[in-house]
A and B are shown apart, each in its own frame.
Chain A
Amino acid sequence: MYYDVISSLPQLPYFTRAERLPITPLRLEQRLRRLRPEHAAQLEHARSVLRWRPERLTAHSDESLLAEYAQLLNAELSTQLHEYVSFRRIQQIMLAALRRVHDGVGPWENTRMWSALPHMYHIRQHWDVQDFGLEYLYPWLPQARECLAAGDAIGLEQHLMDLNWRWLSRTAEQQMFAFAAVFAYVFQWEMLKDWLQCDASQAKARFTELIDKVTDVKDS
């Protein structure tokens, strides 16, 4: 049990209401040093795979990300952390499938890796059905699809973050001073950090910079 670690961490505000991080990365790492070695290793491994941004979107193909998830799920994890990793993996699969439908791309090749995933057979069989007929199992799917269709990237991000935030809050409430509460805090903190880094003016400048780069390449 981690009575001291949990009590030493400040309350995290809900990510849309937060104005700043309540604890700095350095301070958080200092507090996490009191974790038992096996828990610290599990958390480090999970953080490297479940990081909200930016590698999630840019540095991975679907296959490489799935391989990382598989490796993490095969490692020795606490029950609650294993459940969260599975939850995130399903979320990624569903989202990737929705994106493919939105882009008019067909389902993935029926490789061994893909066919072993949960719901994959069902998704392939119901590719043309809205939300693959899984909206009763995953009630967040319709809103995610609507955000994708509307090109509302921020709305989708907020929807997914809210989903994960609530999942982690429930986990922490069930075991208030256990390892589950610690990893829930860390993942919520990472989400909050990424959310606070969203800056419209900075994004616009970066977008212009990328456009200029592409235009320069074309001209030369």
Chain B
Amino acid sequence: MEMTLLTLGWIGLYAPLALGAVGSMIGCLRGGTAACGAMLEVESGYGRFVGVAAMPSSQTIYGIVVTMALPAAITVDNSPGIFALGALSGVALMFSALAQGAACAAAINASKSKPEVFGISLAPAALIEGFAVFAFVFALVLAGRLPQ
């Protein structure tokens, strides 16, 4: 039982980083392939497409910070809390990165034909980023309440 709890604790410790990274990879893949496709169509402004495609990478950074904020010493007392916080914040970060990748791809697709909508087309991606920030901030707040 004790071993299981400790294992869950270690999973929870690494989950925000691992799940956030998985989400970022797929999100950047979605945005990146859309950016590559759009580059075939436009004559300039490649840089901003690549910049937008990189937006989902922030979830990995949030994941790193949450992992660092969780107690480093895994004990039977704090393992369930670490698992719950780590796994749930990791899942939230992963899905936000996936959704943001799709939103970025849509923004790139729209602004390739109509450059004037570039700014406004990023609003959905920014909103999704906001939800990821909520998950991140509250994971940090709750991490402070876990028994050390």
Contact = CB atoms under 8 A, between A and B. Distances in A.
A31 B37 CA distance: 9
A163 interface: no
A18 to B, nearest CB: 14
B38 A10 contact: no
A48 interface: no
B121 interface: no
Interface string B106-122: 10110011100000000
B33 A4 contact: yes
Interface in B61-117: 102, 105-106, 108-109, 112-114
Given A1-B30, A3-B30, A3-B33, A8 B102 contact: no
Contacts of B113: 10-11
Interface residues of B, number: 18
A10 B38 CA distance: 9
B2 interface: no
Contacts of B112: 7
Contact of A8 (B40, B105, B106, B114): B40
Nearest to B101: A3
B38 to A, nearest CB: 4
Interface string B33-46: 11111101100000
Interface residues of A, number: 13
B81 to A, nearest CB: 37
A174 B109 CA distance: 15
A7 B102 contact: no
Most-contacted residue by chain B among A5, A176, A177 (CB, 10 A):
A177
Nearest to A1: B30
Given A3-B105, A176-B106, A8 B30 contact: no
A73 interface: no
B94 to A, nearest CB: 17
A6 B37 contact: yes
Nearest to B113: A11
Nearest to B36: A4
A9 interface: yes
Contacts of B33: 3-4, 7
Contacts of B37: 3-9
Most-contacted residue by chain A among B35, B40, B106 (CB, 10 A):
B40
A1 B31 CA distance: 12
A1 B33 CA distance: 10
Contacts of A8: 36-38, 40-41
B102 A177 contact: yes
Nearest to A177: B105
Interface string A175-200: 01100000000000000000000000
Contacts of B40: 8, 31
6 contacts: A4-B34, A7-B33, A7-B34, A8-B40, A8-B41, A10-B113
Ranked nearest first, the 7 interchain pairs of A and B with the lowest CB-CB distance are A7-B37, A8-B37, A4-B37, A11-B113, A4-B33, A3-B33, A3-B34
Given A3-B33, A3-B34, 18 more contacts: A3-B105, A5-B37, A6-B109, A7-B34, A7-B35, A7-B108, A7-B112, A8-B37, A8-B40, A8-B41, A9-B37, A9-B41, A11-B113, A11-B114, A176-B106, A177-B34, A177-B102, A177-B105
